[in-house]
Amino acid sequence: MDQETLMTMAGYGKFFILLFIFIIFYGYAFSLYKRQRSGERDFEKYSDLVLNDSLDAAPLEKRDNSKEK
């Protein structure tokens, strides 16, 4: 196999990798907005992490210690 064919294959390879990533990324974006709209999950509330950040404020979501190492 010469350099030319290798480069062509690499080119196609890269194109499909990019296509794949493109699909994943937009699928992710779509799912974020869908879940927000259907009320499955509210993502916007996380910006309260900033507004409510004093040490004695109640955590937005308490950490479930059993799951974490």
Partner 1 sequence: MQSNAQLEYDYSVVKLFTFTTILFGIIGMLVGVILAFQLAFPELSNLAGEYGTFSRLRPIHTNGVAFGFTLSGIFATWYYVGQRVLKMSLKESKFLMTVAKLHFWLYFITIPLAVVTLIMGITTSKEYAELEWPLDLLIVVWWVLWGVSMFGMIGMRRERTIYVSVWYYMSSFLAVAMLFLFNNMEVPTMFWANGAPSSAMHSISMYAGTNDALVQWWYGHNAVAFVFTTPIIAMIYYFLPKESGQNVFSYKLSVLAFWGLMFVYLWAGGHHLIYSTVPDWMQTMGSAMSVVLILPSWGSAINMLLTMKGEWGQLQTSPLIKFMIMASTFYMLSTIEGPIQAIKSVNAIAHFTDWIPGHVHDGTLGWVGFMVMAALFHMAPRIFKRELYSKSLMETQFWLQTVGIVLYFTSMWIAGITQGMMWRAYDEYGSLLYSFIDTVTVLHPYYTLRAVGGLFYLIGFLLFAYNIFKTMTSGRVLDKEPANASPMAS
Partner 2 sequence: MFHWLEQRPFFFAVMLFLTVAFAGFIEIVPDFAKASQPTVGTKPFTVLELAGKQVYIKDSCNACHSQLIRPFKSETDRYGMYSLSGEYAYDRPFVWGSKRTGPDLHRVGNYRTTDWHENHMMNPSAVVPGSIMPKYPHMFTNNADVATAYANANTQKSLFGVPYDKEGMPALGSWEDAKAQALEDAKKVAADMKNQSVKDAVANGQVPEIVALIAYLNSLK
Q: Residue numbers of the site for partner 1 (CB under 8 A)? A: 7, 11, 21, 25, 28-29, 32-33, 36, 43-51, 53-64
Site residues for partner 2, 16-45, by CB under 8 A, read 17, 28, 32, 41, 43
Distances, alpha carbon 57 to alpha carbons 28, 34, 45, 60, 64, in Å = 32, 31, 15, 9, 17
Least Å distance, CB 1 to partner 1, is: 18
Q: Is 10 in the site for partner 2 (CB under 8 A)?
A: yes
Task: Provide φ and ψ at 62, rounded to 5°.
Answer: -70, 150
